[in-house]
């Protein structure tokens, strides 16, 4: 399939076509996708375009990337389904700054294959990682790992990440003089893990709400990815639906 140059970015056209192929049954759960090189040939696009399209499908939970092996169709969880909602970025961010953040660490040249995939970086690429604890009424409510490309993270060393009520991405926008055009968020259940459990007062195997959130510039370039583990007793996520199709 040759993509068309026009108002819809090539990576988005490719994402839509791949999603149709997945839903159409061309690939089953656990099946490998064609290599990046093969996808470049199939769609007549660059490797960065392929990676952006795959990253979008990873964020939607449709495929998974295995380091050194390739991309595979995600296994469907028994009895599970996904719901896609769209809304205002400003409204979304208004709810992102209601907690009281405490900075734990800011490190450079950190590696995380999942974050690298979302940021369209090689699996072994070094990144900047910010660790935070967010509190509600003084109690730890969420453990956050935030990843930036190194060229972005290197400019954030002196940035105040913990101003109450200000989403971190807004502080990043001001420092870099850029504007985020969209965000994508995936919510699922999971376990705390050793590090988050220690900060949240949980056991490593205790259930938590897992949120993966990515922010993109108008060019489609991802600038930040956030992994959040929410304490199950201190956070709930509520969506209100209206008859006219709005979600609030």
- SS3 of the chain: the string is CCCCCCCCCHHHHHHHHHHHHHHCCCCCCCCECCCHHHHHHHHCCCHHHHHHHHHHHHHCCCEEEECCCEEEECCCCCCCCCCCCCCCHHHHHHCCCCCEEEEEEEEEEECCHHHHHHCCCCCCCCEEEEEEEEEECCEEEEEEEEEEEHHHHCCCCCCCCCCCCCCHHHHHHHHHCCCEEEEEEEEEEEECCHHHHHHHCCCCCCEEEEEEEEEEECCCCEEEEEEEEECCCCCCCCCCECCCCCEC
Quote the pLDDT of residue 234. 80
Quote the pLDDT of residue 37. 92
What is d(CA 26, CA 4) in angstroms, rounded to the nearest whole number? Answer: 23
pLDDT in tens, 89-112: 555 555 555 567 788 889 999 998
Quote the pLDDT of residue 82. 53
Find out whether 27 and 54 touch, Cβ atoms under 8 Å: no
Task: Evaluate if residue 88 carries a pLDDT over 60.
Answer: no
Quote the pLDDT of residue 113. 78
Quote the pLDDT of residue 230. 92
What is d(CA 161, CA 67) in angstroms, rounded to the nearest whole number? Answer: 31
pLDDT in tens, 23-68: 778 888 889 999 999 999 999 988 888 988 888 888 777 888 887 7
Confidence of residue 151 (pLDDT cuts 50, 70, 90): very high
- Torsion on CA atoms 6, 9, 14, 16, rounded to nearest 10: -90
Task: Evaluate if residue 220 carries a pLDDT over 70.
Answer: yes
Find out whether 150 and 140 touch, Cβ atoms under 8 Å: no
Quote the pLDDT of residue 77. 57
In this prediction, what percent of the chain has a pLDDT beyond 70? 83
Q: Which domains does the chain have, with CATH numbers?
A: 10-73 (1.10.10.10), 89-230 (3.40.1410.10)
Quote the pLDDT of residue 163. 63
């Amino acid at each position: 399939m040759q993509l068309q140059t026009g108002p819809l970015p090539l990576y988005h056209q490719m994402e839509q076509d791949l999603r149709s192929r997945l839903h159409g049954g061309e690939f089953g759960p656990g099946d490998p996708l064609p290599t990046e090189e093969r996808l470049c040939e199939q769609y007549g696009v660059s490797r960065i375009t392929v990676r952006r399209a795959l990253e979008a499908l990873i964020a939607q939970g449709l495929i998974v990337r295995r380091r050194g092996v390739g991309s595979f169709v995600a296994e469907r969880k028994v009895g599970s389904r996904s719901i896609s909602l769209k809304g205002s970025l400003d409204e979304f961010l208004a709810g992102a700054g209601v907690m009281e953040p405490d900075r734990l660490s800011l490190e450079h040249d950190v590696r995380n294959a999942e974050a690298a995939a979302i940021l369209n970086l090689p699996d072994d690429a070094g990144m900047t990682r910010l660790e935070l604890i967010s509190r509600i009424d003084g109690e730890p409510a969420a453990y956050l790992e935030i990843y930036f490309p190194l060229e972005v993270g290197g400019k954030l060393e002196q940035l105040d990440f913990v101003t109450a009520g200000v989403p971190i991405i807004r502080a990043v926008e001001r420092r870099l003089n850029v504007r985020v055009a969209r965000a994508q968020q995936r919510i699922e259940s999971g376990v705390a893990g050793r590090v988050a459990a220690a900060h949240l007062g949980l056991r490593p195997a205790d259930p938590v709400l897992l949120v993966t959130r990515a922010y993109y510039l108008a060019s489609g370039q991802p600038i930040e990815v956030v992994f959040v583990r929410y304490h199950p007793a201190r956070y709930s996520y509520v969506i209100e639906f209206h008859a006219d199709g709005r979600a609030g």
